[in-house]
């Protein structure tokens, strides 16, 4: 198989090997005899092969990979009958859910062209996304509820690289994006595993402090932003490594710079503006401005991609409410790189952010023992979607509000106070 052979040499094979090692050892902490399900763009075959090798070296039971391909995705929009856009491969996602119920781990490789669907009919994109979200829900719940150990990493797909660095040749763009991925993922260091151990300890200090404060809400202020995010009853902050319900400690996102928790779905008030574009399912949504009342988005605008944004918000009742709030310093390595990745995995780690939709049951005290009804009663949101978008910058301040109304500085000009 010859996948972009002309640019494969642009990706440092030694660092790619380290990325695979970190994903298996740190991202998943894959156990002996544990099965692994991988999803990846076709261009990421070189990384998939290394991941598979390291998984079996760690004692994996069986590794199964599902590939996506941009050309076949676009062929659907060009030639499929209209009814196709209300269908999804539910049988596949049912199989994934069954694999996770059986103890399999999950690893996703991000790297699709972020603008792949930018020229397609937004109505068809929205219908296809909704059908896919509904079909994927049984599998997604196993992930979002941390039933299993899971991890997301990235590969510098040439079509993605050219979106990030349009002025460079394809080979140079791939090389530059690969280097940025390796740096953000800490695999350009001599001992990435030790570096991740130290980084996880630092994130743990931040989340422990926030948990000790027990804030009732967070107040964000900045240009175009005056937003109070109430926090769920019994919320718990997390960051870096997390222990899944199966007892395995994993790093779900590589890279990660955030500490995060669950907002109260009914207690978000005010207005907020995005500080970076959101790349969602092949559409760029920029300059988002929304207003919340009673936890629900009642007004939404965007200078680009507004139609797609509003269709996302109409996915279901929970799509207009928050499922996550995350704090990231403006001085994070990804922010300092100055690169807009058009990829939420990276861009969310350059900035404080919020997420529309599904909450993480992990972000509650004793979350593993709570039922879905209890999570809802404590303010947790439920939805088919979970979409992060960035609201932090060096001009945004954050205060923690205690139950008695007193304020504690949390961030000033985008940095920890």
CB 359 within 8 A of CB 232: yes
Closest among 174, 154, 162, 161 to 5, alpha carbons compared: 174
Q: What are phi and psi of 299, to 5 degrees?
A: -140, 140
CB 93 within 8 A of CB 136: yes
> Is the pLDDT confidence value at 335 over 50?
yes
- The answer for residues whose C-beta is within 8 angstroms of residue 319's C-beta and 6 or more apart is 312, 313, 356, 357, 383, 384, 385
Mean pLDDT on 335-339: 93
> In the chain, pLDDT over 70 holds for what percent of residues?
98
Classify each residue of 265-276 as buried b or exposed e, where b means 16 or more C-beta atoms within 10 Å of its C-beta: bebbbbebbbbb
Question: What is the structure's pLDDT at 6?
Answer: 55
CA of residue 118 relative to chain centroid, distance: 20
> In the chain, pLDDT over 90 holds for what percent of residues?
88
Q: What is the average pLDDT value for the chain, to the nearest integer? A: 94
> Is the pLDDT confidence value at 4 over 60?
no
- The answer for residues whose C-beta is within 8 angstroms of residue 377's C-beta and 6 or more apart is 233
Structure tokens at 189: 């260091």
| pLDDT one-digit tens code per residue, 192-207 | 999 999 999 999 999 9
| pLDDT one-digit tens code per residue, 365-402 | 998 889 999 999 999 999 999 999 999 999 999 999 99
> Is the pLDDT confidence value at 341 over 60?
yes
- The answer for residues whose C-beta is within 8 angstroms of residue 227's C-beta and 6 or more apart is 219, 220, 221, 268, 269, 270, 271, 272, 292, 391
What pTM value is reported for the model? Answer: 0.87
The structural domains of the chain, with segments of one domain joined by +, span: 5-184, 214-237+257-416
> Is the pLDDT confidence value at 88 over 90?
yes
5-184: which CATH topology?
Thermophilic metalloprotease-like (3.40.1830)
| pLDDT one-digit tens code per residue, 155-165 | 999 999 999 99
Question: What is the structure's pLDDT at 7?
Answer: 67
Q: Is residue 5 very low, low, confident or very high in pLDDT (cuts 50, 70, 90)?
A: very low
| pLDDT one-digit tens code per residue, 219-232 | 999 999 999 999 99
> Is the pLDDT confidence value at 59 over 50?
yes
> Is the pLDDT confidence value at 89 over 80?
yes
> Is the pLDDT confidence value at 281 over 90?
no
Mean pLDDT on 36-49: 97
């Amino acid at each position: 198989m010859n996948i972009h052979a002309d640019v494969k040499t642009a990706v440092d094979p030694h660092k790619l090997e380290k990325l695979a090692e970190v994903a298996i050892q740190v991202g998943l902490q894959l156990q002996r005899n544990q099965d692994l399900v991988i999803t990846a763009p076709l261009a990421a075959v070189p990384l998939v092969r290394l991941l598979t090798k390291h998984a079996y070296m760690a004692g994996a039971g069986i590794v199964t990979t599902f590939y996506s391909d941009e050309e076949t995705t676009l062929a659907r929009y060009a030639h499929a009958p209209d009814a196709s856009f209300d269908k999804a491969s539910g049988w596949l996602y049912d199989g994934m859910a069954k694999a996770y119920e059986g103890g399999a781990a999950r690893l996703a490789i991000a790297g699709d062209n972020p603008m792949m669907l930018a020229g397609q009919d937004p109505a068809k994109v929205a219908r296809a996304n909704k059908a896919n979200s509904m079909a994927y829900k049984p599998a997604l719940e196993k992930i979002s509820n941390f039933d299993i150990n899971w991890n997301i990493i990235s590969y510098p797909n040439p079509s993605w690289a050219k979106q990030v660095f349009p002025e460079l040749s394809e080979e140079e763009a791939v090389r530059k994006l690969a280097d940025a991925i390796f740096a953000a993922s800490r695999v350009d260091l001599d001992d990435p595993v030790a570096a991740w151990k130290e980084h996880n300890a630092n994130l743990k200090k931040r989340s422990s402090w926030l948990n000790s404060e027990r804030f009732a809400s967070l107040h964000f202020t900045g240009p175009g932003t005056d937003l109070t995010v109430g926090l769920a009853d019994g919320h718990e902050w997390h960051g870096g490594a997390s222990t899944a319900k199966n007892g395995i400690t994993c790093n779900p996102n590589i890279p990660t710079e955030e500490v995060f928790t669950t907002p109260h779905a009914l207690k978000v008030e005010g207005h907020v503006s995005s500080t970076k574009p959101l790349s969602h399912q092949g559409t760029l949504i920029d300059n988002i401005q929304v207003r919340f009342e009673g936890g629900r988005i009642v007004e939404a605008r965007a200078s680009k991609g507004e139609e797609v944004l509003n269709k996302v918000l109409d996915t279901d009742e929970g799509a207009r409410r928050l499922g996550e709030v995350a704090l990231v310093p403006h001085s994070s390595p990804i922010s300092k790189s100055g690169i807009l990745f058009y990829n939420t995995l990276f861009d969310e780690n350059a900035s404080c952010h919020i997420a529309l939709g599904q909450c993480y049951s992990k972000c509650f005290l004793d979350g593993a023992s709570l039922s879905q009804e209890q999570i809802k009663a404590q303010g947790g949101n439920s939805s088919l979607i979970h979409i992060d978008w960035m609201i932090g910058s060096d001009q945004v301040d954050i205060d923690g509000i205690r139950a008695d109304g007193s304020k504690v500085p949390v961030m000033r000009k985008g940095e920890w106070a």
